[in-house]
Amino acid sequence: MFITDNYGAYQCPQIEEFKERIREVFGRTDNEIWISENDDPDDMPCMGILVKGDQAVINYFNTDVNYVSANKDKQDGTVEFCNGMYEILKEQILPKEDVIRCAMEFFSDKACPKCIEWEKL
């Protein structure tokens, strides 16, 4: 599995290495993370994650369907991520720990994780 963020690219073939690296990249404020099986920007399925402090938004991309995380507490408004590069609806933002669980589930089978709610894009 490959993890790419604003600071570099990392190959993580084993689950323990992946878990350690995920925690590291999630610890960086205002980070953009991509997770895919291969080091190819067009590789599907993949996950795109934006992190801001203790909150994050996650997208799951596949060749036939795309999803964005859905927060159970439907809140109005937006939050800027990555120093204002992205404006994200509050209803799509989750606690960072929930998104880390999604990344770990994705490592296991590459399917859309079932540990959170999703909204189809």
Q: Nearest-CA neighbor of 36 among 70, 81, 67, 5?
A: 5
Cα 59 to the chain's mean position, in Å?
Answer: 6
State the pLDDT at residue 84: 93
Q: In whole angstroms, what is the distance from residue 37 CA to residue 92 CA?
A: 25
State the pLDDT at residue 96: 92
Number of compact structural domains in the chain? 1
Q: End-to-end CA distance of the chain: give it in Å, rounded.
A: 25
Percent over 90 (pLDDT), the chain:
88
Q: Which domain holds residue 12?
A: 2-120
pLDDT-derived band at 103, boundaries 50, 70, 90:
very high
Q: What pTM does this model have? A: 0.94
- For residue 72, pLDDT over 90 is answered with no
Q: In whole angstroms, what is the distance from residue 43 CA to residue 69 CA?
A: 20
Q: Give the length of the chain.
A: 121
Q: In whole angstroms, what is the distance from residue 5 CA to residue 30 CA?
A: 10
